[in-house]
Structure 1
Amino acid sequence: MNIASLATYIPSARVSLDEVVAHRGGSPSEARTFGQLFGMREASTLANEESAEGCFHALLQQLGDSLDEGEKIDAVILIQGLPSPSLRQSVNLPSLRRRSNFIAADAPLLTLNQQNCATLFWGLRLAERLLASGKHRGVALLAGDTLADFDLAERYIPGCTMIADGFVAALLKPGGGQRRVSGIQCFYHPGFWQGLDGTREDTKRFYQSHNHLVEHALSSYPEDVRKRAWLLPHNVNRLSWQTWLRHTENRDRLVATDLLSQCGHCYTADPLLLLDRYAPQDTGRPALLLSVGLGGWVGCAAITSDALPEAVHAQ
């Protein structure tokens, strides 16, 4: 399976960490300490006139422009890690299908929203199965969330992260290409079921296990690939990845955390937002997408380029 086309959108509007922490009842010193430790000072947010559905419509048009004449998208998968209902978070897939003449009228419309940050990987696995069935030739994957309708305090998780808005659309086709997807892995660790509703102790226990969860996911791939690949993770916070890199066996690993300071943690969309910047055909290295979610949901996948000599296979 290959990502034949990738379109991304990070809203230009920002909300400051100081404002978000204040809405949670925190002090300026708490915001300052959080920013220094975790590398976040602001979060991207939809402007007043924007919505998730509007963003996905614009991204779908970009996918449509990449199609060959007469080619159609014949399945759509919506991925949202935050299944909280709100006007601007909600997406009407039948409406998007009607407004996009390049989506087949009978294209199945599927929604996944139960695996938190890692929902992207359940979506990739579903797309892989649809394409493997031979009944579908082009699957559009829509991933992204917004908290623009909620109180600012909802963006801040003390000792953890600041949630931002970001959106991705990927066109998946069978076979290989410049962004071949392989080795999709999905895990659930029920010991962290509390997720966003957990206590500070629950969150602390999760982060004490973060390195173990990362290693468990990455052990699916050959060691030489893990050493050479760019790791493109969900941007939960900078400290987590700095701690992971301090381990002797990880000191030479490459981890992309660019988006942390630029927009915050865009939940389900982070790995694909980073892939837009770290595609194998541009870096000369494979990429490993990864999400390690607070609720114990973990997903990973390898991205390689057929133009490069390496091959990646999950063990």
Structure 2
Amino acid sequence: MTSLAAVSSYLPPTIPVEQLREPLGLTDQQVRRFTRLYGLDRICQAPAQSEAELLTAAAEKLEALAGQEDRVRYVVRAKGLRTTAPYPVSPLQQVREALGLHRATVFSVADHGCATGLLAVDAAGTLLAADGDPDALALVLAGDKTFTPFSQWVEDVSIMGEGVSAVLVGAGGDRDRVLGYHARIHGREDGVIDLDPEGARDAKRIYQDAMAEVVLGALDRAGLGIADLDLVLPHNVNRVSWTVAAAHLGIPRDRIFLENIARTGHCFCADPFINYQSARELGLLRPGDRYLMTSAGLGQSFAAMVLEH
């Protein structure tokens, strides 16, 4: 059974939303919406660090990786964005060399937007199970650089941060075991993921039902119900979307971890893992607790994963 052997995050320094008014061309109304309504306050920014440096910083914090480099069979880059570096630069290969993971096969998964992190964990677990080596590991690297105007914010939805996570995945283990995973894409036939006015209206219309579909699907595969969840670790898109989702799904508000929305911004597909690390540090997860990770991304992609701590 797939498990999270270790999780670490690297959070760069933050700047207040107000300082992004001019760079992003935000109006006074948009600043108020992001801060007062959506709960965003500070955004992780690392202008002096490359994507490879960010990802390496997160992976180097994995104490469980030290001395176990030869056990890593796969390094999986979970990309919230389709393109994260100009050709022929390969941040993933740079990270592999920096960490000394010479036996690992490296590849990226994308096109699930900010739901790609959970997809990468599922893919890593599937590959490890097929290998049949109980000692083999995979390293999932999640999070993106906001190096283009398109990637810096989603208009009237969220502002993107550059926090990243490293997740060491095993094929077995008795801690943080994956009990169920479900994903669904409600994409356009032409493959366009930009939120033009029509796309934005469609995303808003289906969001709550689509999120409920994957949450209930993951719970069904785990043989559990909403009442069995001790904690929800969501993507940090904004406070309003999760206030509505909690009511829609019947999840008590105090079981949803939203504290990082104000501290980091929406860090692409790294959010659930950043929230996991914070929850552990705060003592919110006890052995045997069942918890839910969720994500949604541009292109109408949705994913949910149920785990047992």
| Deviation larger for 92-101 or 137-146 | 92-101
Say which of 123, 128, 135 aligns to 1:126: 123
| 2:297 equivalent to 1:293 | yes
Partner of 1:110: 107
Partner of 2:14: 13
1:1-315 → structure 2 map (5 Å cutoff): 1-14=2-15, 16-48=16-48, 50-63=49-62, 66-67=65-66, 72-86=71-85, 91-101=90-100, 103=101, 105-135=102-132, 137-147=136-146, 149-151=147-149, 154-191=151-188, 194-195=192-193, 197-220=194-217, 221-222=219-220, 225-227=225-227, 228-247=229-248, 249-251=250-252, 254-279=255-280, 282-284=284-286, 285-305=289-309
Q: Runs of 5+ in structure 1 lacking a partner?
A: 306-315
Q: CA deviation at 1:224?
A: 5.2
Q: Distance in 1 between matches of 2:293 and 2:267?
A: 14
Q: Distance in 2 between matches of 1:40 and 1:55?
A: 22
Q: CA deviation at 1:70?
A: 7.9
> Residue by residue, what CA displacement relative to the aligned partner does 1:54-83 show, whole Å, maximum 9, x if unpaired?
122233333365456685312111111112
Q: Distance in 1 between matches of 2:275 and 2:51?
A: 19
Q: CA deviation at 1:225?
A: 4.1
The 8 Å contact of residues 179 and 279 in structure 1, kept in 2 or not, is answered as: no
> Residue by residue, what CA displacement relative to the aligned partner does 1:94-124 show, whole Å, maximum 9, x if unpaired?
33333333x2x33211111221101112211
Q: CA deviation at 1:255?
A: 1.2
What is the SS of the residue equivalent to 1:277? Answer: helix
Q: Distance in 2 between matches of 1:169 and 1:234?
A: 16
What is the SS of the residue equivalent to 1:276? Answer: helix
Question: What letter matches 1:226 in structure 2?
Answer: I
The 8 Å contact of residues 182 and 302 in structure 1, kept in 2 or not, is answered as: yes
Q: CA deviation at 1:36?
A: 1.5
Q: Distance in 2 between matches of 1:106 and 1:248?
A: 44
How much is the aligned-residue C-alpha RMSD, in angstroms?
Answer: 2.7
Q: Distance in 2 between matches of 1:81 and 1:237?
A: 17
Q: Distance in 2 between matches of 1:160 and 1:67?
A: 39
What is the SS of the residue equivalent to 2:62? Answer: helix
The 8 Å contact of residues 216 and 225 in structure 2, kept in 1 or not, is answered as: no
- Over 3 Å counting, the alpha-carbon distance change for 1:159 and 1:33 in structure 2 is same
Question: What letter matches 1:26 in structure 2?
Answer: L
TM-score where L is the length of structure 1: 0.84
- Over 3 Å counting, the alpha-carbon distance change for 1:177 and 1:91 in structure 2 is farther
| Deviation larger for 259-268 or 126-135 | 126-135
- Over 3 Å counting, the alpha-carbon distance change for 1:282 and 1:71 in structure 2 is farther
TM-score where L is the length of structure 2: 0.85
| Deviation larger for 54-63 or 116-125 | 54-63
| Deviation larger for 185-194 or 269-278 | 185-194
Q: CA deviation at 1:21?
A: 3.7
Q: Distance in 1 between matches of 2:195 and 2:17?
A: 22
The 8 Å contact of residues 121 and 185 in structure 1, kept in 2 or not, is answered as: no
The 8 Å contact of residues 121 and 300 in structure 1, kept in 2 or not, is answered as: yes
The 8 Å contact of residues 243 and 253 in structure 2, kept in 1 or not, is answered as: no
> Residue by residue, what CA displacement relative to the aligned partner does 1:117-144 show, whole Å, maximum 9, x if unpaired?
0111221121011111125511111111
> Residue by residue, what CA displacement relative to the aligned partner does 1:218-265 show, whole Å, maximum 9, x if unpaired?
112158542233111111111111122334833467211111111110
User: What is the count of residue pairs matched by the alignment?
Assistant: 297
Q: Distance in 2 between matches of 1:277 and 1:18?
A: 25
| Deviation larger for 294-303 or 201-210 | 201-210
